[in-house]
Structure 1
Amino acid sequence: MTGIDDQILTDTGLPPEGRGRILLIGCGALAREVLDLKSANSWDHLDLHCLPAILHNHPQKIPQAVEDAVTARRADYAEVFVLYADCGTGGLLQATCERLGVSMLQGPHCYSFFEGNTAFAARDEITAFYLTDFLVRQFDAFVTKPLGLDRHPQLRDMYFGNYTKLVYQAQTDDPELTEKAKACAAFLKLDFERRFTGYGDLETALRNL
């Protein structure tokens, strides 16, 4: 006699524990925010698999890394959702996701979806350098050292001479992070602006799942 679990497996192609579960394949720079949202909203049906945040320094590698992760893990889930925007891939990630039949975050990058894609596009700030909570915490690892500013501070003008301000998009109200963001602006010799964005379109996308 066929048991109910066997029937579920036959009907859906998934074991019972995989029914209704959604795999989030995301950038490691979003890990803390996603876990906070999962906890605050009891979104226990969402599982997070993060790829290295340092891929943002090599965006051409993101589409293949996402495809490898989707291919390796999708059989265990009812749905896969990719927590990347375009992120410098020039449309290649969108094309990869369409070919794989999975959805992804909308927008050009995390600065846009944190503020809200519509609001960010309306600002049209071409001389602003953006930091998120993650990038404030990891400023040395993702900005100072990769650009060689710790060894060659004179490169600051080459990289940032056309910027006028540093905009800290705060996901949380953390005075310590705000002070560190101010220090980053001073180090780059830029004006400072803090905007509390919360989680923006990231939260909206996860809520819709």
Structure 2
Amino acid sequence: MIPSDEKLIEAGLPLAIPRGRVLLIACGALAREILDLKKRNGWDHLDLTCLPAKYHLYPDKIAEEVRKAVTAHRADYDDIFVVYADCGTGGLLQAACAELGVEMVAGPHCYSFFEGNDAFAAKAEEEFTAFYLTDFLVRQFDAFVWKPMGLDRHPELRDMYFGNYEKLVYQAQTDDPALTEIARDCAERLGLAFERRFTGYGDLATALERL
């Protein structure tokens, strides 16, 4: 039985204020993971809108597009949370969020917060020759890596782009043998050693849980 407001006041306890609605403005590359977290945790107070994942290829657009989205939706929500890390904006996204008064996921990029920012930073020096893929990028390898780099037309460019890399690290958010095999094939296509590392959702889950 839920006590009435009067009984809470008499007991010197804070009132039970209903949780407000929160809008997540996210990178489209994180949609599947966010929706899964919402479903498994019953986070029905969180709504999701996504910006195109292709902004990974044009990070200079991210801060301004996030700014537009926050402005467009601010009046409809009690709070807004930006589900991007810095993602190559060179601090511009953090500055925009600070100006707008909204929070964002901590970290330099999704590879870091999936691994856990502290864990990723601890490995950074020994893994500066690693190329990372997430579940999303394994699924979209051709669209986000192979074709934009022109490797579908000029495979000889592979050594120019990846000659200084030693391994491909597949940061697996899910246990999916089929995705693992695709990731292994991606490593072979790039001429890199392969490592699979199960990360789950890392700091993304922690950040959303706080909401």
TM-score (norm 1): 0.91
Say whether the 8 Å CA contact 1:19–1:77 is kept in structure 2.
no
Q: In the alignment, what sits opposite 1:116?
A: 116
Q: In the alignment, what sits opposite 2:146?
A: 144
| Aligned-partner residue type, residue 68 of structure 1 | K
- % of aligned pairs identical? 75
Say whether the 8 Å CA contact 1:19–1:78 is kept in structure 2.
no
Q: In the alignment, what sits opposite 2:39?
A: 39
Q: State the Cα distance separating 1:22 from its structure 2 match.
A: 0.1
Q: After superposition, where does 1:49-68 map in structure 2 within 5 Å? A: 49-68=49-68
Aligned length: 192
CA RMSD of aligned residues (A): 1.0
Q: State the Cα distance separating 1:74 from its structure 2 match.
A: 1.1
Match of 1:159 among 158, 161, 168: 161
Q: In the alignment, what sits opposite 1:24?
A: 24
What are the superposed Cα offsets for residues 182-205 of structure 1, whole Å, 9 maximum, x if unpaired? 000000000000000000000000
Q: After superposition, where does 1:46-195 map in structure 2 within 5 Å? A: 46-124=46-124, 125-195=127-197
Q: In the alignment, what sits opposite 1:13?
A: none
Q: In the alignment, what sits opposite 1:14?
A: none
Say whether the 8 Å CA contact 1:25–1:51 is kept in structure 2.
yes
Q: Determine the C-alpha separation between the residues in 2 that align with 1:198 and 1:192.
A: 18
Q: Which runs of 5+ in 1 are unaligned?
A: 1-17
Q: In the alignment, what sits opposite 1:5?
A: none
Q: State the Cα distance separating 1:66 from its structure 2 match.
A: 0.2
Q: In the alignment, what sits opposite 1:203?
A: 205
SS at structure 1 position matched to 2:98: helix
TM-score (norm 2): 0.90
| Aligned-partner residue type, residue 123 of structure 1 | K
Q: Determine the C-alpha separation between the residues in 2 that align with 1:171 and 1:123.
A: 19
What are the superposed Cα offsets for residues 31-82 of structure 1, whole Å, 9 maximum, x if unpaired? 0000000000010000000000000100010000000000001110000000
List, as ranges, runs of 4+ consecutive aligned residues in structure 1 with deviation greater than 2 Å.
Answer: none
Q: State the Cα distance separating 1:89 from its structure 2 match.
A: 0.3
Say whether the 8 Å CA contact 2:19–2:45 is kept in structure 1.
no
Q: Determine the C-alpha separation between the residues in 2 that align with 1:157 and 1:66.
A: 35
What are the superposed Cα offsets for residues 115-145 of structure 1, whole Å, 9 maximum, x if unpaired? 0000000001110000000000000000010
